[in-house]
Structure 1
């Protein structure tokens, strides 16, 4: 059995490789090659257990996640991957942030304008940095605004990312509306229970990713954005209708038809041509963890 630390995960699977792995996994998901048991949730989402079985290869992944939003880090997880006669146990916290960033990279590559140069990051928690790394892997971003409630945290994150990407201009701040007013891409990575902005605060052409809200009671996106977006894409409709507060609210209120939701795997096979405002909402699915664990095992 191989045991891999967070440092092992990061050094073995860089973000571009993670994006490629997650993209391939969603194509496999669209082809019907995964068995996905329902995610188990305990203690109002404080403990989650996810699993995925890839039938063609006979490989499987199981992840246990502990979530405590009042602690740092807020997410603690362990991933177990089995296949090809071996078992791998890896730090699931790093895999979770990496694969969540990677799926945003896949979605952004599909829906954002090819010449996007301005990114707005909303949130300064554990998931935030990989959102930026993923977008920078698929677009030539020149300017990034890092927005959080605490200016000191926003400044610290901006400095950390600036050290990684010295060619990019990072600006910290606390005003969401100022941050998104001229953005080409917006990444929401917060634990908000209410929408972060209204649709009229956004440019007419913008792509918005939302990955922070993972419970039915949480919401980062406003109804009016979901009602007017040309494309609302999710990782999986079933998962979104169980766990995404904004998608559940929009569908049950009649703001958005469930049939209008586009799954990422389907989009990868159809190559959508988005216009206006586009949205990608992710709650995370097992094949993402499988993809990173498989890449770890192969490398």
Structure 2
């Protein structure tokens, strides 16, 4: 499957979610979110996707699991790891296409783990990249990532950054894909006009984004408000401290139907919802 096809499938799924086409129960988390179960049922097609994953930070791969896509004519079973990286990249592609400037071409990527390559592919699919800068605490992993992408991005200048602040300075788009529990950079390190995606945090104790970015952003888009308020540490803290008004959060499906202005700094925070798994599994089935 190509990344553009996945992006279009995920875009349509979020529009369908806003239109009420899905039954989407809250994600079930066990053992401190080390085991997750998520499901989505699509009423128009009577199809259902269920994903069960295990997350161990010290393991390689960090995520293991299975996705089952069931429909009236049968079922499809997939390895959750590539499907998860693909659907997570795809939703970032949807958000970047919605919120980044049309001429954005400089991506800063923080994190070089399993999600990283598909984050780059997704942004490149909607905003062809002239420059890619990567920072990872283990520089060897960042070097390996860039080496693996060279053939896919032959016209993109690639570089490593010594730290996150240096990485994001000058970037038109920033992607955060880490397991950080503290903000990765300061708001002052960003350009005045930049789009930031954050997909790493999925527990209340995790944070990738500085609070003042959320407080001053022109728009903060989330995949689903209920999910963000349960799992996205930076969103939870910013709302609880009063710097981010709950009513100012915009769900991705709604934003696709009524696009916000591309002004100042824009943010997309995703914890991942099962309609993404459904969308990609349906294409694969």
Partner of 1:82: helix, strand, or coil? Answer: strand
Separation in 1, partners of 2:131, 2:72: 44
What is residue 108 of structure 1 aligned with on the other side? 96
Contact in 2 for aligned 1:63/1:77 (Cα 8 Å) = yes
Give, in angstroms, the shift of residue 141 of structure 1: 1.1
Distance in 1 (CA, whole Å) between partners of 2:214 and 2:82 is 30
State the number of aligned residues: 285
2:180 aligns to what? 192
1:228 aligned onto 2:216: yes
3-state SS of paired residue (2:257): helix
For the residue of structure 1 that corresponds to 2:59, the secondary structure is: coil
1:205 aligns with 2:202: no
Q: Are the aligned partners of 1:162 and 1:169 in contact in 2 as well (CA < 8 Å)?
A: no
**Aligned residue in 2 for 1:145:** 133
In structure 2, what is the equivalent of residue 87 of structure 1?
Answer: 75
Where does structure 1 lack aligned partners over 5 or more consecutive residues?
A: 1-12
Q: TM-score with structure 1 length normalisation?
A: 0.94
Q: In structure 2, what is the Cα distance between the partners aligned to 1:73 and 1:164?
A: 23
Shift of 1:150: 1.3
Partner of 1:175: 163
Matched, 1:268 2:256: yes
The answer to whether 1:55 aligns with 2:43 is yes
How large is the Cα RMSD of the aligned pairs? 0.7
Distance in 2, Cα, partners of 1:282 & 1:73: 21
What residue is the counterpart of 1:5 in the other structure?
A: none
Q: Helix, strand or coil for the counterpart of 1:242?
A: helix
Contact 1:154-1:173 within 8 A present in 2 as well: no
How many Å separate the matches in 2 of 1:198 and 1:229? 13
Name which of 207, 212, 215 aligns with 2:203. Answer: 215
Q: Report the Cα distance in structure 2 between the residues aligned to 1:42 and 1:178, rounded to whole angstroms.
A: 37
Question: CA separation in 1, counterparts of 2:282 and 2:179?
Answer: 29
Q: Partners in 2 of 1:291 and 1:174 — Cα distance?
A: 37
**Does the 8 A contact of 1:150 with 1:174 survive in 2?**
no
CA shift, 1:169, in A, is: 1.2
> Residues 176 and 197 of structure 1 are in contact (CA less than 8 Å); yes or no, is this contact kept in structure 2?
yes
Unaligned runs of 5+ in 2: none
Distance of 2:61 and 2:152 partners within structure 1: 21
Q: How does 1:150-169 map to 2 (within 5 A)?
A: 150-169=138-157
Give the alignment's TM-score, normalised by structure 2.
0.99
Give distance in 2, aligned partners of 1:78 and 1:173: 35
Counterpart CA distance in 1 for 2:26 and 2:138 is 36
